[in-house]
């Protein structure tokens, strides 16, 4: 799958094709989308609809709802994927590792004991054991 140009976190919600774009949930101010290039199966991103790059630009109502959406994503992953841990975070700025630096988003990465292997170390390749489309269908069925 080739990476797209432009802001996918603006483009995907505007297309109103949630299944094809892996959008799991829509709130008033933000949404949950599966990462098309996941670190692990079930890797979610929570983003505001508004195109902003910095956390301090969030309005109070956006910040509260986005945190609630992160909690919703956690609950969904716990129920469906049954991970034993999570990495949750924001990479703000390209130097901090943000792949989409111009649009604020929170990553929710489910983790399991032993979920890493030799591939990232030897060949800078990550093996993901489940297709994103399959993960989408499992998660969407529980919402």
The pair phi, psi for residue 138, each rounded to 5°, is -65, -45
* Residue of 23, 15, 34, 19 whose CA lies nearest to 132: 34
Query: Quick check: is 103 catalytic?
Result: no
* Residue of 44, 93, 52 whose CA lies nearest to 69: 44
Lookup: tokens for 98:
């943000």
Catalytic hit among 29, 43, 103, 105: 105
* Residue of 13, 12, 135, 38 whose CA lies nearest to 77: 135
Is residue 21 classed as helix, strand or coil in its secondary structure? Answer: helix
Matching residue, tokens 């609630």 = 68
Matching residue, tokens 């603006």 = 10
> Catalytic residues, which ones?
105
């Amino acid at each position: 799958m080739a990476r797209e140009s432009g802001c996918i976190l603006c483009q995907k919600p505007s297309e109103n094709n949630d299944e094809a774009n892996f959008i799991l949930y829509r709130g008033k101010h933000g949404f949950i989308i599966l990462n098309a290039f996941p670190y692990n199966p079930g890797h979610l991103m929570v983003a505001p609809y508004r195109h902003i790059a910095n956390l301090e630009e969030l309005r109070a109502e956006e910040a509260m709802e986005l945190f609630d959406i992160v909690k919703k994503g956690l609950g969904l992953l716990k129920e469906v994927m049954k991970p034993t841990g999570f990495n949750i975070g924001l990479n703000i700025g390209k130097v901090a590792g943000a792949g989409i630096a111009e649009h604020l988003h929170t990553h929710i990465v489910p983790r399991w004991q032993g979920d890493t292997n030799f591939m990232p170390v030897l060949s800078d390749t990550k093996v993901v054991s489940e297709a994103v489309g399959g993960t989408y269908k499992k998660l969407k069925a529980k919402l």
